[in-house]
Amino acid sequence: MPLIPEEAIPYLENMIYLPMVLTILEKDRMIFERGPFKLKRPYVAMVEGATKQVHKELKETHIYMKRNSMKVLRGEGDDMFTEYVFFHGGYEEHRRYLNVRLRNRVEELLTMYLAIVENVH
């Protein structure tokens, strides 16, 4: 039986992925603002809308984690893997993620958040 409940894992993983998504969105916003685009506003608005969605979900994740005494710390990493340490209810679990998997999941989330913004407009 796992020490950390399965329903807690998505919240713990959000603490890995969502900050990465925010970093990419912020860099992309700067590229759109500084780039040679004729009409920058639609691109910037889309990125800002996605950023707002990610912040909302990250806030909900923070609330859940605080209520459940959960924490995530980044551990060791190399070219292939990055380790994260999950803390929940006095238990500690080390998980290693393939860097390619991290990148692919962040890309999936980025696509999802941009689609949410696109569907709102």
The tens digit of pLDDT for each residue in 12-62 reads: 999 999 999 999 999 999 999 999 988 999 999 999 999 999 999 999 999
Kindly tell me if the per-residue pLDDT of 81 is higher than 60: yes
Is residue 73, in this structure, part of any structural domain at all?
A: yes
Q: Is 103 exposed, middle or buried (0-12, 13-18, 19+ CB in 10 A)?
A: exposed
pTM: 0.90
Total domains in the chain come to 1
Residue 8, both tokens:
């807690």
- 52 CB neighbour count, 10 Å cutoff: 14
Is residue 36, in this structure, part of any structural domain at all?
A: yes
pLDDT-above-70 percentage for the chain: 98
Structural domain containing residue 86:
6-120
- For residue 23, CA distances in Å to 16, 19, 59, 81 come to 12, 6, 16, 20
Is residue 103, in this structure, part of any structural domain at all?
A: yes
Mean pLDDT (the chain) is: 94
